[in-house]
């Protein structure tokens, strides 16, 4: 399947910080999705993006669908401790399959 490059691989957050992560691909996608996985659970959908250039918010989360349709970013504003987890980007071409990034692991800075 198509390979998505997600960065950073990991990050430390301090409560109140804004954080950002992004995903790039050599392929064009029709839909970009961002998921979050809490420890011991399956990924849960956070935001879905359907049009190039689209900017969508869900509470403190904001994501954008890149103009080239080959990239997307996710911002988290005013981090709180429950933001820790693994964030995955995913690109969708067809009805059947998603291609996933390797994930960004967010942990709290001690």
Q: Hey, how many other C-beta atoms are within 10 angstroms of the C-beta on 56?
A: 17
> What is the rounded end-to-end Cα distance, in angstroms, of the chain?
38
Position of tokens 């001690």?
110
d(CA 103, CA 50): 21
Out of 13, 21, 25, 35, the only residue in the binding site for another protein (CB under 8 A) is 35
Residue 37 or 62 having the CB closest to another protein: 37
Is residue 63 part of the contact set for another protein (CB under 8 A)?
Answer: no
Q: Which of residues 71-100 bind another protein (CB under 8 A)?
A: 88, 90, 92, 95-98, 100
Residue 41 or 59 having the CB closest to another protein: 41
DSSP string, 76-108: E-S--GGG-EEEEEEEE-SSS-EEE---EEEEE
Residue 85 or 103 having the CB closest to another protein: 103
CB 103 within 8 A of CB 21: no
Is residue 44 part of the contact set for another protein (CB under 8 A)?
Answer: yes
- Report the interface residues with another protein, using CB under 8 A: 1, 4, 6, 9, 31, 33, 35, 40-45, 48, 50, 88, 90, 92, 95-98, 100-103
């Amino acid at each position: 399947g198509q390979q998505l490059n997600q960065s950073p691989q990991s990050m430390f957050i301090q409560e109140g910080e804004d954080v950002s992560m992004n995903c790039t691909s050599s392929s064009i996608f029709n839909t970009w999705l961002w998921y979050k996985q809490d420890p011991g659970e399956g990924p849960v959908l956070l935001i879905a993006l359907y049009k190039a250039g689209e900017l969508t918010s869900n509470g403190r989360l904001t994501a954008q669908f890149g103009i080239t349709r080959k990239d997307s970013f996710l911002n988290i504003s005013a981090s709180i401790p429950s933001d820790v987890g693994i964030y995955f980007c995913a690109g969708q071409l067809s009805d059947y399959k998603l291609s996933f990034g390797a994930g960004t692991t967010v942990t709290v800075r001690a």
